[in-house]
Each structure stands twice: as structure tokens, then as C-alpha cells.
């Protein structure tokens, strides 16, 4: 029997029949409630605990199941079983989200979008946890909490603050690349189906010979890029605050399955030392002329969750979910997220969150950790087997055949000022600006002016100065737009 076919009578959580779900137990027709009304107590107690902590970022999202099919051979770069041959197919789960808004925020707001995909592979879950932009606002995870505080509500007014937001962005010049994208046409996708996705970070591929390549992941929408203007988004939000959720759900229900083509950019390990852009800086991209896109396969979403909370709200992605043949890089932001995402999940869902069905490595050939105990342990907890290694039984043996090749690392531990290593924050935003048409540039100017209005004059001037360093016409255009609406 499916959940939809359930017509069984009501019971308590312990399985006892519920005799009356319409009237509480009282002392007389008009008397007070009685504590011995066990069903009332259970029902209210469960209701009081239905809401779990929302994500600090990416709080509001939509998700769906699907499949990924390998269409091109990249086994020369990675020994990951998923990519071992053309035609391989695995189940997937994807979650899309806005970033700054709370769970009740409108979908069609100007913001970046989360783009996370889980591949249920035979070697365990592989998560690509990225955004719809190839870069980010900052390059050191020490600024993660500050970004959250900048884009969330002011502690005194409980309102969004242009000064908090833009004061933060303008004092981090490396943010200009991401800010330029967010203020461009792509700052408000028409739907989750009509946007690209990126792993954003630099990761690594390791092949069967132990060779390492650096890699970036690109999911390119097969529906085409479509966006909303500020005016279109304002009108839409007035009619439907759940526009992205509705679009994704209805498309899949109607059989119009959204698809993306996965591409990779691959860089030989040695190239990182001499590449003209810092290869592990999340605020920069690799030129496709230098490292062309290599087609890998197709992602298709074709099944809506039966229960939103069970699958979408409880989904727990982390870039630390990797498989043999796919690994990390010295990207500082990635290194921070390897800890932070899993730690946030342990707070939000508990230490045994991997037992929730959407998070289970359901396709893995072997899952045999000796983690045990903790709240909500429901898998038998390894029974009476001691969680001890080394031992005399041959249990919990390592698998050295999956060891990664050695990687050169710095010999001195210190708090290095990354700005001294690379402070080229303006070349790539300038290149992006120069790729835009005149109409696209004008919308960029006007979007920026509307978004920054309300910030201090000094903050507006600093942003104009940063834009001017990227391209004089960029700074001049933002200044004119700000003057026209009184933002300066």
C-alpha cells in the first residue's frame, strides 16, 4: 500500500487506537482539560517539535529525483566508478534554493541560487554542492558568518539593510565579480529550470595511474537561459511567492523533465603553479579558451518527492561527500565548507542524519562504518560488535588501494595575507562587463542603483570606484543610474 492509498484508522505513535480526534477530554462540558488526555498531549507535543532549524543560508528550496547518464568517456582523468564507461546511469537528487531569504521568502528575488546535486553511486554518495554562478563573494571562509550577517536582517530594525549588505561587498573588492553577476540579467532566473549550475570550486580528479588533474564542474541547462527583470519579478511576486517551486513541480508532473548537460574543465596538476589566474580562488573563473569544456553526461530530473519535508527539507548535502577518483583542492573556501556543511547538518538533523532515506548511500556496494550510538540510531548500531580498531578479528580494515597521491603543501603555517599573493580583483569583472550588450549594461546599472539605494554615500562611492577599476564605463554607468534615482 502506498501512502496515498492509506485508509487505515488512526492510532497513536505507539500503535494504540485513537477513539476521538474531534474533542479533548475535559472535566465536564465546560470544565478544564485533563492531563490524562494522552492523545491531546501527544498531538500537541509532536506539533511543538515539527519545525527543525532552518538552514542559515539556502533556507528555501525545491528538489526532485532523477538520473544521470554518462555520455562521454573521461576515464583518462578519473577512476571514479561512475565514469568508468559510457552508458553508466545512477539515481540523483537535486536541490535548488535562494540563498539570502528565509524559508518564507519569495522565490523570484534578486539573489544567487543554490544548485546541489547528489549522485547515488556504487562507491557512495557524491555531492556537487554549488550555485548558479561560477564564482562567489569572498575567498576566505573566515568571512562566511559576516556574509550571512550582511545579507540577513539588521539586529535592530529586523529589516534588510542596504548599508550592511553593500558596506560588506564594497570593502571586499574580490566580491565585484559575483556582485556584477547578481546585478546582471542573471540575478533573477525565471525558474530553476532556466539556469546553469556550477560546482564553483576547484576540485581534483585522480585517475587509475595516480595522476591528479584539477577540475571544475559545469551543469548547462538544456531549457535555455531565461531571466526576469526587476519589474517582472515584482509583478510575479505579487501573484505567486512560490513561482520557482511551482514551475519545477508542475514541469515534472507534466512529464516535461528538465535536463542539464554536465561538462568539466580539466587542468593538469602542474599548470596551477603558473596559470595567469589563481586557480584555487573562488572569486575567479578559468578561461574556457585555456581549458575548454569537456562534455560528460546528462542530468535529468523526473520524479517529485512524495513528501517535501522528508526529502527536500531533510536533504543534507556536503562537498565532503566524495568518492574515489574525485577529491579536493587547496581552495580555501572549499576547505572551510568541507567542515562547515557537515557540522551544520549535525546541528540541524543530528549525528545520524545519514540514515534519513534521502541521505542514505542507497546505491553503495558497501557501507560499513563503526560510528555508533547518538540520537535516533535506528540501523541496529552494529549490534554487540565492539567498535575497536585495530582488533584481532580483522574487522574495519583500511583499504589502502584507494589512497590518494601525495600533494605538495606549504612548509610554514601562518596567517598569510592572500591579497599579497593575488589582488587582481578587477580584470575578470571587467571582462564580463565588456561581454555584455549595451542593453544588458544598462540593466546592470539600473539594477545596481535600485539595490544599493539606502546605503551611505561613502559606500555607494566606493562601489562606483571598484566598478571603475574593472572598466571606466562600468563605474560611469553605475554613477549615472544612482544619480537618476537619488541613490547618491
DSSP state of 208: T
What burial class does residue 30 get, using C-beta atoms within 10 Å of its C-beta: 0-12 exposed, 13-18 middle, 19+ buried? exposed
Alpha carbons 341 and 344: distance in angstroms, whole number: 5
Q: Which of 6, 23, 58, 194 is catalytic?
A: 58
Closest by alpha carbon to 134, among 212, 202, 62? 202
Known catalytic residue at 58: yes
Alpha carbons 245 and 191: distance in angstroms, whole number: 8
Residues 6+ apart with CB under 8 A from 41: 35
Sign, Cα dihedral of 187, 188, 191, 192: positive
- The dihedral over CA atoms of 379, 383, 385, 388, expressed in degrees to the nearest 10, equals 50
Q: Which of 125, 131, 132, 352 is catalytic?
A: 131
Known catalytic residue at 131: yes
Question: Hey, is 448 helix, strand or coil?
Answer: helix
- CB-based contacts of 432-441 (< 8 A; 24+ apart in sequence): 432/177, 432/180, 432/181, 432/184, 433/180, 433/470, 433/471, 433/473, 433/474, 434/471, 436/184, 440/184, 440/185, 441/473, 441/474, 441/477
Residue 419: other Cβ atoms inside 10 A: 11
> Active-site residue numbers?
58, 131
Amino acid at each position: 500500500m502506498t501512502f496515498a492509498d492509506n485508509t487505515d484508522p488512526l492510532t497513536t505513535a505507539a500503535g494504540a487506537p485513537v477513539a476521538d480526534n474531534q474533542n479533548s477530554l475535559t472535566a465536564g462540558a465546560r470544565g478544564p482539560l485533563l492531563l490524562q488526555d494522552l492523545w491531546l498531549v501527544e498531538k500537541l507535543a509532536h506539533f511543538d517539535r515539527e519545525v527543525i532549524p532552518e538552514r542559515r543560508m539556502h533556507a528555501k528550496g525545491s528538489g526532485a529525483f532523477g538520473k544521470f547518464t554518462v555520455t562521454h568517456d573521461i576515464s583518462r582523468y578519473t577512476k571514479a566508478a561512475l565514469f568508468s564507461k559510457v552508458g553508466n546511469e545512477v539515481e540523483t537528487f537535486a536541490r535548488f534554493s535562494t540563498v539570502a531569504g528565509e524559508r518564507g521568502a519569495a522565490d523570484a528575488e534578486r539573489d544567487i541560487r543554490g544548485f546541489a546535486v547528489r549522485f547515488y553511486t556504487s562507491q557512495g554518495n557524491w555531492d556537487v554542492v554549488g550555485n548558479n554562478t561560477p564564482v562567489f563573494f569572498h575567498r576566505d571562509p573566515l568571512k562566511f558568518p559576516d556574509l550571512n550577517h550582511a545579507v540577513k536582517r539588521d539586529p535592530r530594525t529586523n529589516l534588510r539593510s542596504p548599508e550592511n549588505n553593500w558596506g560588506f561587498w564594497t570593502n571586499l573588492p574580490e566580491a565585484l565579480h559575483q556582485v556584477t553577476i547578481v546585478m546582471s540579467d542573471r540575478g533573477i532566473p525565471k525558474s530553476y529550470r532556466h539556469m546553469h549550475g556550477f560546482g564553483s570550486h576547484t576540485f581534483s580528479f585522480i585517475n587509475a595511474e595516480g595522476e591528479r588533474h584539477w577540475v571544475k564542474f559545469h551543469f548547462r541547462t538544456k531549457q535555455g537561459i531565461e531571466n526576469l527583470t526587476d519589474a517582472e519579478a515584482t509583478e510575479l511576486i505579487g501573484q505567486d511567492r512560490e513561482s520557482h517551486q511551482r514551475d519545477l513541480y508542475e514541469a515534472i508532473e507534466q512529464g516535461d523533465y528538465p535536463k542539464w548537460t554536465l561538462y568539466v574543465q580539466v587542468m593538469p596538476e602542474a599548470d596551477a603553479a603558473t596559470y595567469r589566474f589563481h586557480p584555487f580562488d573562488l572569486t575567479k573563473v578559468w578561461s574556457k579558451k585555456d581549458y575548454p569544456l569537456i562534455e560528460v553526461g546528462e542530468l535529468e530530473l523526473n520524479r517529485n518527492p512524495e513528501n517535501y519535508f522528508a526529502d527536500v527539507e531533510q536533504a543534507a548535502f556536503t562537498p565532503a561527500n566524495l568518492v574515489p577518483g574525485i577529491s579536493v583542492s587547496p581552495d580555501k573556501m572549499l576547505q572551510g565548507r568541507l567542515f562547515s556543511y557537515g557540522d551544520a547538518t549535525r546541528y540541524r538533523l543530528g549525528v545520524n542524519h545519514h540514515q534519513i532515506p534521502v541521505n542514505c548511500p542507497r546505491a553503495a556496494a558497501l557501507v560499513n562504518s563503526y560510528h555508533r550510538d547518538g540520537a535516533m540510531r535506528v540501523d541496529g548500531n552494529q549490534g554487540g560488535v565492539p567498535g575497536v580498531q585495530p582488533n584481532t578479528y580483522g574487522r574495519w580494515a583500511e583499504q589502502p588501494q584507494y589512497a590518494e597521491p601525495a600533494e605538495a603543501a606549504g612548509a610554514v603555517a601562518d596567517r598569510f595575507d592572500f591579497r599579497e599573493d593575488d589582488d587582481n580583483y578587477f580584470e575578470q569583472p571587467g571582462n564580463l562587463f565588456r561581454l555584455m550588450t549595451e542593453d544588458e549594461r544598462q540593466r546592470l546599472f539600473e539594477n545596481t542603483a535600485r539595490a544599493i539605494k539606502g546605503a551611505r554615500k561613502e559606500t555607494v562611492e566606493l562601489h562606483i570606484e571598484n566598478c571603475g577599476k574593472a572598466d571606466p564605463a562600468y563605474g560611469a554607468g553605475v554613477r549615472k543610474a544612482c544619480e537618476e534615482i537619488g541613490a547618491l
